[in-house]
């Protein structure tokens, strides 16, 4: 039994944290709010230099061939500073999709470039008023002589840093299918106003966009569900990083803010409030580690591990940020303090590729709660 | 990261499993787990159980071999508790003796104390209680008022203890007293190994809100102890108390696994109980609430594993055990609260008339003790805030 990151993973964490500190921590996110988007390109290059973008890519495609646990320190540290961009979408969603379902040619064309920081990929899945699991897409893919052509409108697509490719879902005769589309083939792009201004989400319109099939026709939902295990594990780490920073800054503030001639952290109303944040943080971290471990080792309980983690952490992150605002008092309500940025990020992630309710439902199903109950022995066998 | 047990640990598990199958009381594994109600029979039943644990070498696995233990590792202790919870073994009547008093005596007891007490604790011949809390000293133990005054060569003890578990069946009490008035709150406290079988000791059971009588008031009227009964130095009892508390390293394991087992039982109920032909679990409210509880209970278990890993790497436990205790006790309360809610109005029925489990309503009532005993949730939050987060101590302490 050993439930901790290993020494290399902790060393890697230190290196990434130093890199984030050198970049000014949340200054990066604030630059994006100010419209200075070039900082995102710098981060992509920096990630490649540190080998981060190569982690989940196999050695054949110039990657490091490492697993989900090695991404834990990465996303905790990027989450801690609210790093803007589509690292999660590229590394933890597009890469698993291509890894699992791409052809050899697609893998060598796309993944080597991601590994060396020359390419980022986002996922264009949502359509207006259709939720996460629509019966069908309104976006249509038609067969052409050289492949497919996709027409339709996608929304809520993360686009910060201008990804080179989109993996998109479109309807074919066989059902919902996944396609690869070059960013240069997007007909029009409209940036949508979002509560989290440190990110950028867009509505994309495709008009007969040349598209390459990814995986089997009609299997889009299944493929996405599978890749979302990787994505959710990584997203959980990112949220844990944010929660960790919230607990830290709130604690430090309570030590130095003096009212009634004493640091407010002495008052139990404040102290216990911060402790409650800390309790959620520890649970969140344990669940996220276990989720990453389950994904990396492809365990039988990986569905349960990932969905239960996501269900808890999405909610706990929002609560941590909201509590932090309250515990800071007036200053917590200002634009000047970073806490509000964490709240907005937490809200941005809450329903991203699945809600708390969805995750709980999936947890219940994966635990077999809805299958016919078998008779239990008086003493259960573990 | 690795969640598997080694071959040696699994061998340990199967050895214990085999022993339990042979040695648990008659009918226990088949579900006949009722303990005698009469206090004398109850006491005898549990003493017999401890005796048989002792004979099998399973009474005090963490103790050093020289005292009759197995020098078990922390992981073996986890395995031990998993198995004990799995079979819902009878309670250990000498829990206090084995897990707290004896290890403290091994560390700081006199040669005579070690010889006189440790073996008897192991065999169950001598059952121990602990006398800490008083009517005016609950969370604030330093406020105790029970006095021990030296007269000739005897200590004369007067005062009242409360919440003393096992006192009605105990032979000895690990007793906290005040031996001198002092400036410092933690000075002037002395620990005695008090003989409970004497005229100056009167035990009155406390009836809990769940109807059980697990605790007692202990009235001390000119009770007598000798110098040989003092643990450590006179006036330095606070140190002894802290040392004792640090020995309580594995109690949380049993609570974690018990909670997991209780949760599974509630899920079984939600699957089995039907309203108009539909199982409770099919109600989205029930499904959602249970999925949430599953996640947090599993999270608490994983936290415990993470803290154990930390302890193994650092060689000693840290204040994180407060975190485990707080989470597990609060979750126990929440679990049974939810279990009551989903049973509908029939949830008011208890014992033989209960909808699903004759014990569940009683467990709900008992769960309120979890966040009070062994340090209230409020005290745990202070400990976490101050010792883990480094927040300033509040002015009262």
The interface predicted TM-score of the complex, written ipTM, equals 0.95
Based on the domain organization, do B310 and B277 belong to the same domain?
Answer: yes
Contacts of B147 (CB under 8 A, 6+ apart): B157, B158, B159, B177, B178, B179
Quote the minimal CA–CA distance from A372 to chain B in Å: 8
Is residue B382 one of the residues assigned to a domain?
yes
A287 closest CB neighbour out of B302, B384, B386: B302
Asked whether the predicted pLDDT for residue B112 surpasses 90, the reply is: yes
Is residue B394 one of the residues assigned to a domain?
no
Quote the minimal CA–CA distance from B352 to chain A in Å: 17
How many whole angstroms separate alpha carbon B131 and alpha carbon B153?
A: 23
Confidence at residue A278, expressed as pLDDT on a 0 to 100 scale: 98
Q: Which domains does chain A have, with CATH numbers?
A: 7-119 (1.10.540.10), 122-218 (2.40.110.20), 222-366 (1.20.140.10)
Is residue B48 one of the residues assigned to a domain?
yes
Confidence at residue B182, expressed as pLDDT on a 0 to 100 scale: 80
Based on the domain organization, do B264 and B234 belong to the same domain?
Answer: no
B291 closest CB neighbour out of A272, A275, A363: A363
Based on the domain organization, do B227 and B198 belong to the same domain?
Answer: yes
The band of B394, judged by pLDDT with boundaries at 50, 70 and 90, is confident
Quote the minimal CA–CA distance from B60 to chain A in Å: 22
Do the chains contact at A380 and B261, CB–CB below 8 Å? yes
CA angle B12, B13, B18 (to 5 degrees): 100
Based on the domain organization, do B202 and B287 belong to the same domain?
Answer: no
Based on the domain organization, do B139 and B217 belong to the same domain?
Answer: yes
DSSP state of B137: B
Q: How many Cβ atoms sit within 10 Å of the Cβ of residue B186?
A: 14
Q: How would DSSP label each residue in A138-197?
A: SSEEEE-SSSEEEEEEEEEEE-TT--SEEEEEEEETTEEEEEEEEGGG-SEEEEEP-S-T
Q: How many Cβ atoms sit within 10 Å of the Cβ of residue B155?
A: 22
The band of A374, judged by pLDDT with boundaries at 50, 70 and 90, is low
Nearest C-alpha in B relative to A307: B295
Nearest C-alpha in B relative to A305: B295
Active site residues of B: 248
Is residue B374 one of the residues assigned to a domain?
yes
Task: Give me the percent of chain A exceeding a pLDDT of 70.
Answer: 97
Nearest C-alpha in A relative to B300: A283
Based on the domain organization, do B78 and B145 belong to the same domain?
Answer: no
B86 closest CB neighbour out of A272, A275, A382: A382
- Stretch among A135-144, A327-336, B237-246, B335-344 having the lowest mean pLDDT: B237-246
Asked whether the predicted pLDDT for residue B397 surpasses 90, the reply is: no
B93, B114, B145: which is the final residue of a domain? B93
Nearest C-alpha in A relative to B305: A3
B397 in contact with A, Cβ within 8 Å: no
pLDDT tens track for B132-151: 999 999 989 989 999 999 99
CA angle A179, A192, A124 (to 5 degrees): 10
The alpha-carbon radius of gyration of chain A (Å, integer) is: 21
Quote the minimal CA–CA distance from B145 to chain A in Å: 27
3-state SS assignment for residue B10: helix
Q: What is the mean pLDDT of chain A?
A: 96
B394 closest CB neighbour out of A254, A266, A278: A266
Residue B337: give its domain's CATH number.
Answer: 1.20.140.10
Do the chains contact at B287 and A279, CB–CB below 8 Å? no
Pairing of strands A175-182, A201-214: antiparallel
Based on the domain organization, do B134 and B189 belong to the same domain?
Answer: yes
How many whole angstroms separate alpha carbon B92 and alpha carbon B53?
A: 9
Q: Which residues pair with A206 in a beta bridge?
A: A152
User: How many domains would you assign to chain B?
Assistant: 3
Phi and psi at residue A100, to the nearest 5°:
-80, -35
A261 in contact with B, Cβ within 8 Å: no
B217, B238, B259: which is the final residue of a domain? B238
Is residue B344 one of the residues assigned to a domain?
yes
A365 in contact with B, Cβ within 8 Å: no
Based on the domain organization, do B209 and B292 belong to the same domain?
Answer: no
DSSP state of B35: P
Confidence at residue B117, expressed as pLDDT on a 0 to 100 scale: 97
Based on the domain organization, do B47 and B143 belong to the same domain?
Answer: no
Contacts of A107 (CB under 8 A, 6+ apart): A60, A61, A98, A99
Is residue B101 one of the residues assigned to a domain?
no
B40, B69, B93: which is the final residue of a domain? B93
Tokens of residue B116, six digits:
């006189």
Helix, strand, coil percentages for chain B (3-state, nearest 5): 50, 15, 35
Quote the minimal CA–CA distance from B25 to chain A in Å: 14
Based on the domain organization, do B270 and B227 belong to the same domain?
Answer: no
Q: Which of B328, B151, B122, B275 is nearest to A282 (CA)?
A: B328
Based on the domain organization, do B218 and B280 belong to the same domain?
Answer: no
How many whole angstroms separate alpha carbon B232 and alpha carbon B239?
A: 8
Nearest C-alpha in B relative to A258: B392
The band of B214, judged by pLDDT with boundaries at 50, 70 and 90, is confident
Domain encompassing residue B21: 7-93
A312 closest CB neighbour out of B279, B299, B388: B299
Backbone conformation region of residue A39, classed left if phi is above 0, alpha if psi is from -120 to 50, else beta: alpha
Do the chains contact at A369 and B287, CB–CB below 8 Å? yes
Do the chains contact at B390 and A251, CB–CB below 8 Å? yes
B261 in contact with A, Cβ within 8 Å: yes
How many whole angstroms separate alpha carbon B393 and alpha carbon B347?
A: 43
Asked whether the predicted pLDDT for residue A152 surpasses 90, the reply is: yes
Residue B144: give its domain's CATH number.
Answer: 2.40.110.10
């Amino acid at each position: 039994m050993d439930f901790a990151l290993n020494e290399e993973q902790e060393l890697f964490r230190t290196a990434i944290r130093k890199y984030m500190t050198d970049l000014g921590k949340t200054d990066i996110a604030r630059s994006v709010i100010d419209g200075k988007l070039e900082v995102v390109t710098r981060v992509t290059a920096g990630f490649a230099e540190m080998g981060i973008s190569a982690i989940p890519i196999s050695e054949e495609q110039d990657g490091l061939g490492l697993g989900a646990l090695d991404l834990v320190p990465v996303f905790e540290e990027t989450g801690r500073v609210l790093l803007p961009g589509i690292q999660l979408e590229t590394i933890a969603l597009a890469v698993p999709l291509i890894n699992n379902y791409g052809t050899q040619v697609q893998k060598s064309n796309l993944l080597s470039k991601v590994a060396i920081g020359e390419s980022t990929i986002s996922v264009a899945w949502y359509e207006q008023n259709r939720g996460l699991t629509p019966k069908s897409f309104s976006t249509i893919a038609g067969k052409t002589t050289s492949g497919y052509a996709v027409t339709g409108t996608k929304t809520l697509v993360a686009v910060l840093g201008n990804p080179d490719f989109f993996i998109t879902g479109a309807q074919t005769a066989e059902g919902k299918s996944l396609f690869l589309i070059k960013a240069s083939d997007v007909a029009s792009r409209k940036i949508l106003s979002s509560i989290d201004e440190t990110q950028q989400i867009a509505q994309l319109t495709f008009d007969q966009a040349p598209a390459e099939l990814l995986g089997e026709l009609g299997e889009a939902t299944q493929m996405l569900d599978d890749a979302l295990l990787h994505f959710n594990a990584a997203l959980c780490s990112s949220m844990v990083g944010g929660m960790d920073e919230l607990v830290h800054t709130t604690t430090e503030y309570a030590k130095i803010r003096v009212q009634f001639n004493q640091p407010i952290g002495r008052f139990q109303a404040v102290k216990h409030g911060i402790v409650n944040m800390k309790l959620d943080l520890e649970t969140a971290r344990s669940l996220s580690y276990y989720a990453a471990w389950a994904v990396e080792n492809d365990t039988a309980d990986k569905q349960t591990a990932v969905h239960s983690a996501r269900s808890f952490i999405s909610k706990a992150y929002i609560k941590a940020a909201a509590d932090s605002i309250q515990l800071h008092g007036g200053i917590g309500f200002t634009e000047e303090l970073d806490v509000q940025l964490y709240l907005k990020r937490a809200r941005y992630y809450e329903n991203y590729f699945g809600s708390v309710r969805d995750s709980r439902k999936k947890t219940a199903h994966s635990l077999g709660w809805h299958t016919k109950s078998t008779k239990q022995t008086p003493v259960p066998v573990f | 990261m690795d969640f598997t047990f080694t071959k040696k640990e699994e061998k340990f598990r199967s050895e214990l499993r085999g022993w339990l199958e042979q040695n648990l009381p008659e009918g226990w594994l088949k579900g006949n787990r009722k303990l005698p109600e009469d206090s004398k029979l109850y006491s005898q039943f549990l003493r017999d159980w401890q005796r048989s644990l002792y004979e099998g070498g399973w009474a005090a696995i963490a103790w050093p071999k020289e005292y009759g233990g197995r020098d078990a590792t922390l992981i073996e202790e986890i395995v031990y508790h998993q198995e004990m919870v799995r079979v819902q073994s009878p309670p250990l009547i000498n829990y206090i003796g084995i897990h707290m008093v004896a290890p403290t005596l091994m560390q700081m007891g006199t040669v005579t104390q070690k010889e006189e007490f440790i073996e008897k604790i192991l065999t169950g011949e001598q059952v121990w209680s602990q006398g800490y809390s008083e009517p005016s000293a609950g969370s604030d133990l330093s406020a105790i008022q029970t006095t021990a005054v030296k007269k000739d060569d005897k200590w004369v003890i007067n005062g009242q203890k409360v919440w003393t578990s096992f006192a009605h069946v105990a032979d000895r009490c690990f007793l906290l007293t005040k031996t001198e008035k002092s400036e410092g709150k933690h000075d002037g406290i002395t620990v005695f190994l008090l003989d409970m079988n004497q005229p100056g000791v009167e035990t009155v059971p406390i009836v809990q809100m769940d109807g059980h009588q697990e605790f007692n008031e202990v009235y001390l009227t000119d009770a007598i102890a000798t110098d040989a009964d003092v643990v450590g130095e006179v006036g330095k009892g606070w140190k002894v108390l802290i040392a004792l508390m640090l020995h309580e390293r594995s109690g949380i394991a049993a609570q974690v696994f018990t909670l997991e087992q209780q949760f599974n039982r509630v899920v079984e109920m939600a699957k089995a109980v039907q309203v108009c032909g539909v199982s409770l679990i099919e109600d989205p409210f029930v499904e959602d609430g249970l999925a949430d509880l599953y996640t947090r209970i599993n999270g608490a278990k994983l936290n415990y594993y993470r803290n154990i890993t930390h302890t193994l790497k650092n060689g000693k436990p840290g204040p994180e055990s407060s975190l485990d205790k707080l989470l597990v006790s609060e979750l126990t309360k929440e679990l049974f609260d939810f279990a009551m809610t989903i049973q509908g109005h029939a949830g008011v029925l208890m014992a033989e008339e209960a909808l699903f489990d004759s014990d569940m309503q009683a467990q709900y009532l008992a769960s309120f003790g979890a966040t009070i005993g062994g340090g209230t949730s409020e005290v745990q939050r202070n400990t976490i805030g101050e010792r883990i987060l480094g927040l300033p101590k509040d002015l009262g302490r």
